[in-house]
Amino acid sequence: MAHDFIYLASQSPRRRQLLEQLGVRHEMLLAGPDEDAEALEAERPGEEPEAYVERVTQAKLEAALARLARRGLAPAPILCSDTTVAVESTILGKPRDADDAFATLSLLAGRSHRVITAVALGLGERREAALNVSEVEFAAVPAEQLRRYVASGEPFGKAGSYAIQSQAAAWISRIAGSYSGIMGLPLYETAELLRRWNVAF
């Protein structure tokens, strides 16, 4: 069955922008005030970062499918995605506050880390997902620069306390993987999924 649009169940303006870059028609399907979206991102003890991202993405997809049914909207595939940053088995999610953001950035400075993004499509009983893992290397960054970045407000709401399309790009000495995956939606994997679902773009 062909689909001429999808639903995007994500508040991220970067994911919207990346879908627009592909030329995919989409409508937003965001959580209502009655849904605890943050609870879906709670970590479980001992969970590996890749497993965590896949589980959270699937949980977001199930919540969005239930939302679609509750709202009685026209059926179309729903796209969900989740991104986290990891140093070895340590998950570095969105910072709780300025101190947490500074501690995360201090850990990332002068070393490499993984940016893990899962993307999933679902409709009815069908589910498909893909995982992208990229490696990013940060140069050493003086503490004062990190503090200025935290004070700018940029780290908040971002996994790993930074966005690759912000001034933090000046600290990235090497990338191996997917730039769009690091932004929050790996376009190659997303396009492959959309093609398998006969989504027009």
Enumerate the active-site residues: 82
Q: How far apart are CA 139 and CA 112, in angstroms?
A: 9
Q: And the tokens for 122?
A: 């679902």
Per-position DSSP letters for 34-60, written without gaps between them = TS-TGGGG---TT--HHHHHHHHHHHH
Phi, psi of 161 (to 5 degrees): 65, 25
Q: How do beta strands 126-138 and 112-123 pair?
A: antiparallel
* Burial class of residue 41, CB neighbours in 10 A (0-12, 13-18, 19+): middle
Q: Are 92 and 107 in contact (CB under 8 A)?
A: yes
Is the Cα dihedral 17, 21, 22, 27 positive or negative? positive
